[in-house]
Amino acid sequence: MSTKTTSLPKGKVRDDYLHLILDFPLTSLKSEKQFNEAQKVIDKLIVKGKLSSGEEMYLDALSDLIAAYEDVHYPIGPASDAAMLRHLMEAKGVTQADLHRDTQLAKSTISEVLAGKKPFSRQMIRKLAKYFKVDVSVLAANL
């Protein structure tokens, strides 16, 4: 049974979208060459500035295809505990001294984590999650 899409673009929106489809079809990216070509198409659209609705629809779809390719071929692992703690501290604007004072975590422990010498413990994860108001899973990625 075929499904009919009811929200097909019309008029100029359709024309802009179809023109882009003819130049670079929206299909799964299977090679590095296709990936690079897709990035070039995106770059051209981004530099263009103001896009029509059809161009925006196309850009969204092509971005999704690029993201899917990157997820498989260029996976990004979880951040280190040191990088995560540094990021959270910068985002909240706190120092090591502030963190020690507010969480009662030992100064040496905070320093060792920031230096990459020590991973988060379960107790640290609970305290830091509560302090930074993030889910524990954000901090427990490396357990």
- The predicted-structure confidence for 109-143, as pLDDT tens digits, reads as follows 999 999 999 999 999 999 999 999 999 998 998 77
* 2 pLDDT higher than 70: no
Handedness of CA 29, 31, 36, 37 (dihedral sign): negative
pLDDT in tens, 58-101: 999 999 999 999 999 999 888 999 999 999 999 999 999 999 99
CA dist 129 and 143 (Å) reads 15
Q: For residue 93, how far is the Cα from the chain centroid?
A: 22
Residue 21: Cβ within 10 Å count: 15
Give the per-residue pLDDT at 10. 72
Domains of the chain: 11-73 (no CATH), 81-139 (1.10.260.40)
CA dist 75 and 69 (Å) reads 9
**Tokens, residue 11:** 């008029």
Model-wide pTM > 0.75: no
User: In this structure, are residues 82 and 116 in contact, taking their beta carbons and an 8 Å threshold?
Assistant: yes
The angle subtended at Cα 70 by Cα 9 and Cα 37, nearest 5°, is: 60
